[in-house]
Amino acid sequence: MSRRQTVIPKAMQPMYDQFHFAPAVRVGKHVFCSGQLGNGPDGKLDPDPAVQFSQAFENVQTVLGEAGGRMRDIVEITTFHVGLREHIGVFMQVKDGYIEEKFPAWTAIGVSELAFEGALVEIKARAIIKKK
């Protein structure tokens, strides 16, 4: 049986401490990333959708890196959007800058709000990392 490992990048430790959730959990080769918002290192959300979307992917990349993986290890993403139809074109352009072929499974869900005021997207990812 595989051991469960909590994955917490140093910059995300305060979120772990305050909100009591792991940025990711690794079990064997599988990494389950919690939803990442587009907040920067200062915790703020830029009002520009493209900037927020890029930062959300940067946050996913940080979590995967801490787990020993890369963006190409992602096999599934679920994205939650405030203003899905309004921003989907910009989101797809940003996504395609981070996620390359072979594309993972993807589900996009429109929501009325996210946990932090001004947040436009939350990205949840699942990856399979071959190396330990």
Please identify which residue in the block is written with the tokens 């994205």: 79
Does 1 score more than 80 pLDDT?
no
The stretch 35-57 carries a mean pLDDT of 95
CATH of the domain at 59: 3.30.1330.40
Residue type, 5: Q
Q: What is the mean pLDDT of the chain?
A: 95
Please identify which residue in the block is written with the tokens 């990048």: 9
Is residue 31 packed enough to be buried (19+ CB in 10 Å), middle (13-18) or exposed (0-12)?
buried
Domain range enclosing 101: 4-128
Integer Cα distance of 80 and 67 in angstroms:
23
- pLDDT at residue number 2: 67
Total of domains in the chain: 1
- Rounded to two decimals, the pTM is 0.94
Report, in angstroms and rounded to the nearest whole number, the Rg of the chain calculated over CA atoms: 14
Dihedral (CA of 79, 82, 65, 72) sign: positive
Give residue-wise pLDDT tens across range 81-109.
999 999 999 999 999 999 998 999 999 99
